Amino acid sequence: MSLILSLPERLFYARVITVSDSVDKVLKILQEEEAIHPERSGKATKEDIKFVEELRRDVEKLEDIVSRIEKMLPSPVLVSLEGERVITRPVYEEFKEILNELKHINEKAEVMGENIERLNESLNEARKLYNIITILTPKYGDRPALELNYDGEIIFTKVVILDPRSLTIMKERLPEEVVVIDEIPLEERMVAVIAGLSGYRHDFLRVVSEVRAEVVNIPAVEKPLRELVTEFERRIKELDTMLKDLKENLNELVMGSVNLLARAKVIGSIVKDRVRALLNAIRGEYLIAVEGWIPERKIPELEARLSREAPASAITKLDPKKEPPTLMNNPKPVKPFELITKIYGVPRYSEWDPTPLIAYSFLIFFGLMFGDFIYGLAMFILVAFVLDRSGLIDDPTSPGYLTLKKVLMILSGASMVVGLLSNTFAGYSIVIRDGAPTMVLAENANQIPSLLNLADPLFFIVLAIVIGLIHVNIAHAISLVRAIKEGNKGNAMAEAGLLIAEVFGIPYISHAMLNYDLLPLPADAYRYLLYGSLAGVGILIAGRLIGMKGLGILLWLFDLTGVLGDTLSYTRLAGLGLATYFMAKSFNSLATGATLGIAGIIGVPIVGLAVGIIIGVIIMFLTNMLNIVFGIIGAFVHSLRLCMVEFLPKFYEGDGREFLPITEKIPKTVMVGSPY
C-alpha cells in the first residue's frame, strides 16, 4: 500500500521526565536525536517563566541584531562551517558570548552608519553649493560672497534655485521693490539672483515658499566668490575621503563578523528550539517534564541513550486525546516528492499521504511534456552542475533547494526515458539507412520508428485523454474508498454511481457516437450498457441527495461535466509535448538553413562552410537552450497544475500540521546577508 498511498509514521505522546540538574543534557539528547515534537502542557513557576522569557527575548534580540548587521553587508556571503567547531562550550554560554559580541559590533556599526549618513548630507550640500557658486563665478567671481547673501537695514540680496516655470510665477508675485537681477540656467533648473528693499524681505520669503523655491545659503564672507570655489573643492575632497574611509571601516567591520554571524544563526536556532521546548514544559520544584510526540521507532533508542547519559530520566506514554502532527513516511525513491505534496498541504495524521501517486504522476506528466533524450540529459547537467553556480540560488546548501534538486534530477531521467521510447533527440530521430543508424529531422510522424510515437498529434492527444481519464478516476476511486472507510454514505454512493456511469457510459458513447467499439460485444449488447450507465447516474443523484439534500438535485450534473472537463485538461500533455518537439525541429532547421545560406554567400567554399557551421552551431545552441529552459518551466508548472487541480482535491484535504522536532543540526554552510 505504501507504494500507492502511504500513512504517516506512527507517533506516541510521551513525557520525558528528568531532574532539574539534567535538563540541558536531556534537551541536547532530544535535539540530537530529533525525537520530540513538543506540545504545550501544564504550568510553570514564575521563576521558570521569567528565565525562559528572558532567554526568548535574548533570542529575538540576537535575530534582530543579526538582521541589522546583514543589511550592512555589501552582498550575501556563503560561510562554510566545515572543519570548525561551532559549539565549543555549553550552548547557553556560547549564545550569551555571541550575543554580547554582536551587540558591540552592532553599536559600532550603527554609529558608523549615522556618521556616514551625516557625511553624505554634508557632501551633497557642499556639492550643491559648489555647483551654484561655480556658475555664478564668471559674473560675480571678483565680488565678495557677502554681496550675494546680504541682509542689511536698507537692502537684501539672495540667491534662489527653482524650475523655470516657478521663476516666471515668482516674478509675477514679487512686489516691485524686489527684483530678479540675474538668471542663470543650471541643468533643468534656474539660479536667480534677487535684490530688494529690506522692508519687503518677508514678502519675498512668502513668495519663495509659495513657488517652492530654495534659498541658497552662500557663505556670507568678505572673500571673493572665486576663492570660495577653491575652498569648496578642497572641502568636497576632504568629505569624500572621510566618507570612503568610513565606508571601508564599516565594510571591514561587518565583513569581519560574517563567521560570527554564521555561528550566531546556528547557535541561535539551537537555543530557539530549546526555548520552544522549555516554554511548553511542565516544571515542578525538583522534576522537569517535556511533553510531546515521539516516533514509535525512536523510543527504544531514546530510552537507551537517556539511561546511559542521563540516568535520572524516564519516558512515560500518555493519552493526549488530541490530533498528532504528521511525520510523512514514504519509500526513499519517492521521498523527495513530499516537497510537491506539501505545496498543497501536509496530510493529517489519520489521512492517506498521496506522495507516491504524486511522484508517479509527476514522472509521467513531466516525461511526456518534456520527452526528449538530449533535452533530459541537458536538464540533468544544468541541475547537477550549473544551477548551484548560476547565482540564481541564494543558498545552494539549504534543505529545500537540495530536495527540489533531487526532484528535478529524477524528472530529467523521466524525460530521457520518454525520449528513448519516442526516438527524439533534440528534435532529431534515429533511422536505419543503408544498414547504419542515422540522425534525421523527420518530415512526418510515420518516418519515426519508435515504441511511443509522440510526434503524431492524434496519437498523443488520444494518449493524453486516456491518461487523464485513468488519473481522474483513480482520484474518484480513492475518494470512494475513503467515503466507505469514514461511513459517509452520500459520498460513497455518489462516487460509486459516477464510476458505474463511466464504466458503462464510455463504451456506449464510443459505439453510438464515434462508431468505435471499445469492447468486443455484439451491437445489440451495447444497448444494455446504456441502462447500466443510467443506473450509475441514478445512484450518483441519490448519493448527492443524501449528502447535500436539495442542492444534490443540481450538483450531480457538475460531477458528470467535471469528469469531462478534468479529462480534457490533460490534453495539455500533448500540447506542451508537441510544442517542445516541433520547436526543436524548427530551430534545428533554422540553424541548418543559416549554415547553408552563409556558406553560399561567402565566395570561398571552405571559409564559407566553416563560418556557416560556426554560426549554425551558435544558433542551434541558443535556440535549443531557450526551448529547454521554457520547456522545463512549462512541464513542471503544468504537471503541478494537473496534480493540484484535477487530482488531489477529489480525495485529499492536506490540513494537517507537520512534525517539527527540536533539533541541533549543524549545517555545513550558512548564508549571511540578504540578497534583496
Q: Can you spell out the DSSP letters for 226-284?
A: HHHHHHHHHHHHHHHHHHHHHHHHHHHHHHTTHHHHHHHHHHHHHHHHHHHHHHT-EE-
- Rounded-to-integer distance, Cα 132 and Cα 146, Å: 15
Higher pLDDT, 345 or 312: 345
Rg, the chain, Cα only: 38
Q: Read off the DSSP letter of residue 176.
A: T
DSSP 156-170: EEEEEEE-HHHHHHH
Higher pLDDT, 562 or 409: 409
- Please determine, for residue 440, whether its predicted confidence score (pLDDT) is greater than 90: no
Can you point out the beta strands (E) in 40-92? 77-80
Mapped onto helix, strand or coil, the DSSP state of residue 516 is coil
Place 666 in a pLDDT band, splitting at 50, 70 and 90: confident
Chain centroid offset of residue 357 CA = 24
Place 445 in a pLDDT band, splitting at 50, 70 and 90: low
Instruction: Provide the pLDDT for residue 512.
Output: 80
* Residues 5/352, Cβ–Cβ less than 8 Å: yes
- Rounded-to-integer distance, Cα 213 and Cα 191, Å: 10
Higher pLDDT, 9 or 85: 9
Average pLDDT, the chain: 88
Angle at 111 between CA 107 and CA 115, to 5 degrees: 170
- Rounded-to-integer distance, Cα 29 and Cα 36, Å: 10
Higher pLDDT, 676 or 209: 209
Q: How far apart are the first and last CA of the chain?
A: 45
pLDDT in tens, 531-577: 888 999 899 889 888 988 777 777 778 888 888 899 999 999 999 99
The contacts of residue 479 (CB under 8 Å, 6+ apart) are: 491, 495, 650, 651
Lowest mean pLDDT among 253-257, 270-274, 348-352, 441-445: 441-445
- Rounded-to-integer distance, Cα 41 and Cα 283, Å: 10
* Residues 598/612, Cβ–Cβ less than 8 Å: yes
Mean pLDDT of 240-263: 91
H/E stretch holding 340 reads helix 338-344
- Please determine, for residue 8, whether its predicted confidence score (pLDDT) is greater than 80: yes
- Rounded-to-integer distance, Cα 410 and Cα 404, Å: 10
- Rounded-to-integer distance, Cα 70 and Cα 256, Å: 12
- Please determine, for residue 86, whether its predicted confidence score (pLDDT) is greater than 70: no
Which residue carries 460509486 as its cell?
496
pTM, two decimal places: 0.73
Bridge-partner residues for 287, per DSSP? Answer: 19
* Residues 155/197, Cβ–Cβ less than 8 Å: yes
- Please determine, for residue 85, whether its predicted confidence score (pLDDT) is greater than 70: no
Mapped onto helix, strand or coil, the DSSP state of residue 14 is strand
The contacts of residue 48 (CB under 8 Å, 6+ apart) are: 278, 283
Instruction: Provide the pLDDT for residue 64.
Output: 93
Mean pLDDT of 334-340: 95
Q: Tell me how far apart the 2 most distant CA atoms of the chain are, in Å.
A: 119
